[in-house]
Amino acid sequence: MSSGDRTQPSSLRVAAIGVITALVVVIGYVRVPLPATQGIFTLADIAIYFAAFALGPWTAAIAGGLGTGVIDLIGGTAQYAPTSLLVHGLQGLLAGLIASIGRGSRPPVVSWIFAGICGTIVMAGGYLAAETLLYGGFAKAVTEVVFNLAQSIVGALGGGLLAVAVRRAYPPIERLRW
């Protein structure tokens, strides 16, 4: 089975998406304390960008959206689950599609950087729009933009490093791309 093979069995795709969704949830529960603001931010974006860079856009989109939705459902913020499903799904899809450009034997750093930037814009913009329209209004939405931007940028950096480390340690991961 070659990498990115379109004849990949559907059982492999279902298994990959299910396991990576669980991975997004687990990594999303690793939280960085921010003492100055008494806030937290999650590392779920690291898992989404890892999936985008190592496993392809569709795994990243579905696992990213479902995983963050599940985090909201089981974490007590279920009202954000539909937004997370859509926003992080789009983030994973866009980042994965851009990262697939120039894919070769070395990590394509330029396309990964561009993927991180576009994913960050989609994620922060998506939450800004959703917060303004659905939840707490524009005033509240604006206060969270900086945190969302920081979370996504850290996610893109961490996801890239994780993708390089895992590809080096486990080369057969290329066969799971689609």
Contacts to another protein by CB under 8 A: 9-12, 14-23, 25-27, 29-30, 32, 43, 46-47, 50, 62, 66-67, 70, 73-79, 81, 134-140, 142-143, 158, 161-162, 165-166, 169-170, 173, 176
State the Rg of the chain over Cα. 16
Q: Which is nearer to another protein, 19 or 101 (CB)?
A: 19
Strands (E), 36-170: 39-42
* Beta carbons within 8 Å of 58's beta carbon, 6+ residues apart: 13, 93, 96, 178
Q: For 112, phi and psi rounded to 5 degrees?
A: -65, -40
Q: Which is nearer to another protein, 101 or 140 (CB)?
A: 140
Q: Which is nearer to another protein, 121 or 129 (CB)?
A: 129
Burial tier of 92 (Cβ tally within 10 Å: 0-12, 13-18, 19+):
buried
Q: How far is the CB of 15 from another protein (least distance, A)?
A: 4
Q: How far is the CB of 108 from another protein (least distance, A)?
A: 20
In whole angstroms, give the CA distance from residue 158 to residue 50.
8
Q: Which is nearer to another protein, 4 or 118 (CB)?
A: 4
